[in-house]
Structure 1
Amino acid sequence: MELNSIKDAFDRVTKKQKLSSSKSQEIIEQIGQEIEQALSRIQSGKDSASPSDHKLIERTKAKLKEIAPLSQLEGTQKDLNIALSKYPKLLDKSFNPDISKAYRNIDFDIHTVNQIIASHFYRQGQFDLGDCFVDECHEPEAAERKAPFLEMFQILEAMKSRNLEPALNWATNNHEQLSQNGSDIELKLHRLQFVEILQNKGRDEALSMLAFFGSICCQTYG
């Protein structure tokens, strides 16, 4: 692969782009100066328009055409477009777009790959597909990854039905690990349960629940 030719082509494109940009900027500045001078002459004259003002405007228009003829702007832009159109063609010739050419025949740890695929299915809640994959590839150990994800989806389904008991049981069973991670999800779940009971079963039932969990929450979260 000849990288020097690619670099040279890129340099030509950037050079044309800079030339086109600087030329356009130069013309814009000249046009601005001519317009400002014309406005200054008009403002320094009479308050009302006069035939001389129209002559001044016509002279300014003619001057602008001399400064920036359309052909001059088109020329620099055309050179830039030609350079830009050639560069992608050179890239296509220099680099093989066939990704299979980059393939290397290396050994994969099939066991690890199967574990990753099975975990992906379980993480997405596709348990039947995950079980089928585990059976087909004869990876019984991968099935061990199913349990925590299955429990998670069961908790989520219960919460959709406004049943917080599975989530509270999970938080209680994992209390130590949650505390080590600085998580207050257990307290938040109890708060949600309190609000749910207050809305559906009334104030007395909610206060009873609060009294039951109050001492535990105070000891745990201060």
Structure 2
Amino acid sequence: MGDALFAAIRDIDRVAKKQRTCSAKTAQYLSQMEDEIRAAKAKLEKSASREEKKRLLKELHDKLLTLRLPGQIEDKQKEFYGSVSRLGKSVDKHFKSESFGDRETNLDDELLDKVIANHFFREGEPQLGQTFCEEANVSVSEDLKQSFLDMHVVVSELKNHNVLPALEWVKEKREEERASPLEFKLHSMQFLRLLGSQGCKVALNYARTNLSQFANTHMLEIRQLMGCLLYHNNIARSPYKELLSEMHWETLRHTFVRECCSTMGQACESPLLVASAAGSLAIPTLAKFATVMGKKQDWTTMEQLPVEIDLGHEFTFYSIFACPISRDQASRDDPPMMLLCGHVLSKQSVTKLNKSNSKPFKCPYCPSEQKFSDCVEISF
């Protein structure tokens, strides 16, 4: 898949290069035609006799035919569209269509449209989102639209290293009198900005006013910031130069978006992006499984995926229980069961331990004994 993708990118780059060449040559030929026509027009305005004008027009016509400018423009266009046509064939060649089963799902089309519309607004594309809402006949609340719009206004300011709008938002959303880690990070970045632009005195006064409230929770970070005062003339060459890294601003923007979405009751990551990314990781494995198994096993009728697909920790949104005895993950058919002693095993493992329904069985991890009826099915 990776090799095919890089090959397709190379083909696209070639077509883009051909398009730029075609555009430049076409502009050159049109400019040359314009110069010839303007020169002929100037001569026509000066000529008095009808025969002279006819002669000048014939000369212009013959010259344009000799230069073949329209023909050259047409040739370049044909060459470019030929490249575009070959690109389509190249994509078909590198990305072969693979069918590995059609699983019927009760997909809610209206819900999917709302997720797509929500994605456009949360990504800072209100015009695109509004157009989609009108064409798909779905609605997103005006309050949510405005909240996303306000969020991106603050994010834009953070890209310009202006933390004041973000600080105003944090103070407005602050619960009671408790300061958040985001607020500390914003004050820290503002302190560094003031230190670099207005000097030690202004930065120190700012720290006394805004950083002292975080002394109990962020003392180590505050000490590092105070150490920057010794190198205020050239922090970039100091032991604290890492604090000026652009990575901190990127992390700050990401943290702000997460807190803002959490305040709005929205997922921290776009559900559409998460689902698309997870699907793109799972599809190659499923396609390979379908190719190997052929018609022997139809995975589309199974309750669970036939193979384990590791999507990485970034796609883990809830706890996963694995039985300490069988090492299998819990499922709808094999849920976790809690014993009287508090230890948790899978239902299948408890069933194997409970050889006789009338007699109690012993927990494999402690001396506690219990019957199958004493075990409680739990949900995470």
TM-score range, shorter chain: 0.3 to 0.5
Q: Which has the higher contact order (CA 8 A, sep 6+)?
A: 1
- Higher relative helix content: 1
